[in-house]
Amino acid sequence: MSTIHLTNGDVAAESLRAALAEAGRDDRVHALRDDLAVGPLRGIDDGPDVRAEFWDRVSTDRRRDFLREFREQAATLENIARGAANVVVWHGESAADQLMLRRVSYHLRNSPQRLNEVRLSIHDLTDPDAWAHSRKDRATSVGMFAPAVLQGRLPDAAPISVLRISRLALEWQEAKHANGETRRWRDNTFTNGSFADLDALILEQAIGDWQPAARVAAELMTADLCYLVSDSIVLWRFRELAATRRIKLRGDASAWRTLELCAALAPCPH
């Protein structure tokens, strides 16, 4: 029987493809390209519109067609659920990876015998200088791990019990119903948060002098938020705060190289 591997995001998928190639295996790998830790979830399994509208607001990459991407992703999940291949979900200890696991469990709840997993944690990180080690929540995603690490974990793919699949599917339904702006994952439990939490951290870091926006972003990306904050989300919050005159920006607001920020209430030097 063939095997399909699922990852959260393209970076993880490319790393896993390299691991499989090195191991001499031609298993298929599908990347699910959606950070489920942020944005609305209600209706996500009924149609792509709500998620596409959210990412259209967040992203500055006008080359991406989120509506088409999410339609194709929904079709991929439906085809996998209808198929007969074994499925292996690779996940780290982060809100987005865990939500992806729960979404896949929901779609395969009627074929539980096909569903397997490989669990990764910070203990699998071979790089002692990896920035994940600086996080209090020790959050990890599969994209952080080198192909050699993933290759070593290939034999560890293990079935998920029917009882656990049912619980994971229920938790996915609950997350959709709760429909928070953000979702934190701590002690194997999800709680809702808001973008105001991110905004507060940005405002704490904003000072009277211009500073590289990347410096503030680094603080957010390592903050103890119980989910991994992407650069696209940070840039979006910068733009939203600037639009409401809570911070000032100068430079290209869609990129890091020239972007600077300072507190709006202070007379920023020219």
What is the pLDDT, as a whole number, of residue 260?
96
pLDDT at 125 over 80: no
pLDDT at 270 over 70: no
Question: Mapping DSSP to helix (H, G, I), strand (E, B) and coil, where does residue 209 land?
Answer: coil
Task: Give the residue-averaged pLDDT of 136-165.
Answer: 94
pLDDT at 97 over 80: yes
Q: Quick one: tokens of 195?
A: 């973008």
Report d(CA 54, CA 233) in Å as an integer.
11
What is the pLDDT, as a whole number, of residue 164?
98
Q: Where does the pLDDT of residue 99 fall: very low under 50, low under 70, confident under 90, or very high at 90 and above?
A: very high
First-to-final CA distance of the chain: 65
Stated length of the chain: 270
Task: Give the residue-averaged pLDDT of 110-130.
Answer: 88
Q: Where does the pLDDT of residue 133 fall: very low under 50, low under 70, confident under 90, or very high at 90 and above?
A: low
Report d(CA 11, CA 8) in Å as an integer.
8
Query: Can you say how many angstroms the Cα of residue 8 is from the centroid of all Cα atoms in its chain?
Result: 7
What is the pLDDT, as a whole number, of residue 267?
59
Compute the mean pLDDT over every residue in the chain, rounded to the nearest whole number. 93
Task: Give the residue-averaged pLDDT of 229-239.
Answer: 95
What is the pLDDT, as a whole number, of residue 148?
96
Q: Where does the pLDDT of residue 112 fall: very low under 50, low under 70, confident under 90, or very high at 90 and above?
A: very high
Compute φ and ψ for 243, nearest 5 degrees. Answer: -65, -30
Question: Mapping DSSP to helix (H, G, I), strand (E, B) and coil, where does residue 239 land?
Answer: helix
pLDDT at 129 over 90: no
pLDDT tens digits, 167-198: 999 999 999 999 999 999 999 999 999 999 99
Task: Give the residue-averaged pLDDT of 126-142.
Answer: 74
